[in-house]
Amino acid sequence: MEGPYVLLAVLSLIAIGAVATAVWLALRLRRAQATHAEPATGSRQRHDTLTGLPTRVAIVASAEQAIAEAQSAGVPFSVTVLNVNRLKSINDALGHEVGDALLRLLSQRLRAILARGDVLGRLAGDEFVILGRVGTGTIPAEVTVETIFAALREPFSIEGHDIEVTVCAGIAMFPEHGATFDVLLRRAETAMRAGRSVARGSFRFYSEEMSKSEEERLALEADLRHAIRDGQLELHYQPKVDIASGRVRSAEALLRWQHPQRGFVPPNLFIPIAEETGLILSIGEWVLRQACLQMRTWLDSGMPPLRVSVNLSAKQFRHGDLTAVVCSALEDAQLQPGYLELELTESSIMHDAEASAAVLQLLSTMGVHISIDDFGTGYSSLSYLWRLPLDKLKIDRSFVRELLSNPDDVAIVKAIISLAHSLRLGVVAEGVETLEQLEHLRELGCDQYQGFYCSPAVPPDAFVALIKRLRAERPALTEADMLRTQSRLYAYTPESAA
Ligand code: C2E
Ligand code: MG
Ligand code: MG
């Protein structure tokens, strides 16, 4: 080899050596850092930084040991899951620092209550777990839970707020409900959810029925996801009738789900699932668009003017960009806002009354009508009722059902009618099934009614036939009648818009 080439080769070897050494050093350094960091990461995982309680990782180890002890001693052992109710609302309303302080104080209070040997851990944001002590003389899990409920009757004082906290609990027992911690934990969570769906602040022991109904619910949820795509949802329409003139004022759009295997699934079964899963946002938008398009088809076919009313769920009202969706649905159907009425419940409006007022004012100034549905079953602030741009209160059908036999219901209906009229709102009675009920409502001064006495909700074609039959006897409403809002606050008339 010639001299220069030898020199080049030596230099290359030195360069490669230097790079290799640098890479080797870097790798060693990284490994050293990683080894150094390990205990910190490990301890973070084993202990919750906020409360100092064992985390899921640490709890799994304790549970495995407890299960082994319970097995060899031939005694039962409990896994209790506690879920803090409304933690998200507390965080939203009072800030995360207050929420964090609450969790710290709550875990201290729980620790002080528990028997020695019971293990308390934090599984997630609002979820705690208790591993019951194994052995004779152990306090039964349900007694521990009752003690926790009692201890939580005392509110937590944080930064000048007195915060009341409730928890839901679910209990699973080894070996009866499962052989491993994983199974026991899932079953305790199932029991907790089953209790929560009935009442916040309650506890349940796991039972097999709970898993069955949860599986059934999950299956229904999966089917519901396909329902819109597969065209299984339909809207039926129920007339709302003017009591004085007998004329049909509007049509309430009500969802119907015809499942290919399950058959008819009632809204009261699937709407709560749609709300819980957030599916109601897409379903609700579909309903709104479909109802507006239906009204456009009816108007184009020469049907005299009618208003269509659509039920809105609380989630749609709070989460979706409701005003934009309403505008787009009206625009696509080329429908004036006065043809649309939205039905909301008291709880969805009052949940955040200030924000609701802003959205409703926007919709009302556009000319959309607003009704409060199922009035009398929820909680309304009278001062807000006065300030909201409402058109109508709909008296819940539970008050109409026994109107003829129950003087209490008469008193309630009378009070709602008088309240509505003094707020200058219209009032509609729901669930009118007999002529006697209708006559009584007329005497009490109710403006409109809805119910099987006139017609149940029917498919669009049947609704057209119904209107033809009813309208044959009475003069139709004019478009100007339809477009005028009743709201005292943002009175809209076609003239005022012009
Ligand atoms: P709602 O809005 O209060 O609707 C009135 C319910 O009363 C309807 O039940 C209707 O069929 C029923 N009804 C009407 N007249 C009578 C009567 O004379 N007697 C009796 N016993 N019942 C009568 P449906 O269709 O089963 O709907 C139940 C609830 O489901 C609705 O109560 C509403 O809260 C909800 N819902 C229905 N469609 C929708 C929708 O598109 N979106 C949302 N968010 N909720 C809906
Ligand atoms: Mg309704
Ligand atoms: Mg109702």
> pLDDT tens digits for the chain (498 residues)?
444 444 444 444 444 444 444 444 443 434 333 333 333 334 457 889 999 999 999 999 999 999 999 999 888 899 999 999 989 888 888 889 999 999 999 999 999 999 888 999 999 889 999 999 877 667 889 999 999 999 999 999 999 899 999 999 999 999 999 999 999 999 999 999 988 877 777 899 999 999 998 888 999 999 999 998 899 999 999 999 999 989 898 999 999 999 999 999 999 999 999 998 999 999 999 999 999 999 999 999 999 889 999 999 988 888 768 999 999 999 999 999 999 999 999 988 887 788 888 899 999 999 999 999 999 988 788 888 888 999 999 999 999 999 999 999 999 999 999 999 999 999 999 999 999 999 999 999 999 999 999 999 999 999 999 998 887 666 666 777 666 655 545 544 445 544
Residue nearest atom 15 of ligand 1, based on CA coordinates:
451
**Residue 362: predicted pLDDT:** 92
What's the 254 CA to ligand 1 centre distance in angstroms?
6
With the most atoms of ligand 1 within 8 angstroms of its CB, the residue from 254, 347, 436 to mutate is 254
User: Can you read off the two tokens belonging to residue 365?
Assistant: 């100034």
What's the 466 CA to ligand 2 centre distance in angstroms?
20
Residue nearest atom 37 of ligand 1, based on CA coordinates:
254
Sheet containing strand 77-84, strands side by side: 119-124, 127-131, 77-84, 167-174, 203-205
Q: Cα 260–264–266 angle (5° rounding)? A: 135
Give the residue extent of every domain in the chain. 56-207, 217-497
**Residue 411: predicted pLDDT:** 96
Which is nearest to 66 in space by CA: 8, 131, 3?
A: 131
Residue nearest atom 8 of ligand 1, based on CA coordinates:
254
Fold match flag (56-207 vs 217-497): no
What's the 343 CA to ligand 2 centre distance in angstroms?
6
- The pocket around ligand 1, CB under 6 angstroms, is made up of 238, 254-255, 266-268, 271, 284, 287, 311-313, 343, 373-374, 397, 430-433, 450-452, 456-457
With the most atoms of ligand 1 within 8 angstroms of its CB, the residue from 282, 430, 448 to mutate is 430
What's the 33 CA to ligand 1 centre distance in angstroms?
63
Residue nearest atom 17 of ligand 1, based on CA coordinates:
431
What's the 377 CA to ligand 2 centre distance in angstroms?
13
**Residue 199: predicted pLDDT:** 77
What's the 255 CA to ligand 1 centre distance in angstroms?
8
- Please give the CATH architecture assigned to the domain spanning 217-497: Alpha-Beta Barrel (3.20)
User: Is 3.30.70.270 the CATH number for 56-207?
Assistant: yes
Which is nearest to 130 in space by CA: 92, 80, 71?
A: 80
**Residue 475: predicted pLDDT:** 63
Q: Which atom of ligand 1 lies closest to the CA of 310?
A: 41
Which is nearest to 203 in space by CA: 134, 246, 143, 255?
A: 143
Q: Which atom of ligand 1 lies closest to the CA of 254?
A: 38
